[in-house]
Amino acid sequence: MRWRYYCDFCGKVGGSSYHMLNHERACTKNPDRVCGLCDLAELRQQPMPVLIEALGYGDAEGLERLRDAAGANEVGKGCPACILAAIRQSPKRPAPEDYEDQSDPEIIREKIEFGYYSPVFDWDREGGAGHFDYQAEFKDFMAIVNAERTRRDWERGVYG
């Protein structure tokens, strides 16, 4: 039989304890996570309570505040892993009574699944007020990080 390892925070399964320990350290459900992306981009990682507080109700303004808290001024739109972590770890909040999508079971299910239950946070939906696409933002973030590294290397005379 093969040993299987589970992340204590999100339940992800893996076959190697080494990789699972690495994952757990940075897992976006871990309240004490150490962010590898912030490290890579030389951003000062903010504590989870600060990020969660910034997101507030998860509306468009909350997402902008979260981007700032997650380093938006230094690198593009902020660290995508820290933003995702804040979304996943935010407490569930019931939508206000006048919110028109209140009765859409699909939206409600999506939000509950990600541990986030907000009036306008539109997970994975184009054009939502607080739309956040982790894969796309990760790509943009890495492009900026790599460009910045190349620029610094030029300044340091790495290329002669």
Per CB under 5 A, residues contacting Zn ion are 7, 9-10, 12, 27, 35, 37-38, 79, 81-82
- The least CB distance from residue 118 to Zn ion, in Å, is 21
Query: For residue 36, what are its two tokens?
Result: 């590898």
139's tokens: 């790509």
Tokens encoding 38: 């912030």
CB closer to Zn ion out of 24 and 122: 24
Beta strands in 44-124 (DSSP E): none
Least distance (Å) from Zn ion to the CB of residue 22? 10
Task: Give the nearer residue to Zn ion in terms of CB position, either 95 or 145.
Answer: 145
| Short-list 85, 92, 83, CA closest to 111 | 92
**Shortest Cβ distance from residue 75 to Zn ion (Å)?**
10
Phi-psi region of 93 (alpha: psi -120 to 50; beta: other; left: phi over 0): beta
- Taking the least distance from each CB to Zn ion, the nearer of 7 and 108 is 7
Q: What is the distance between the terminal CA atoms of the chain, rounded to a whole angstrom? A: 54
**CB-nearer residue toward Zn ion: 120 or 145:** 145
Min separation Cβ 56 and Zn ion, Å:
19
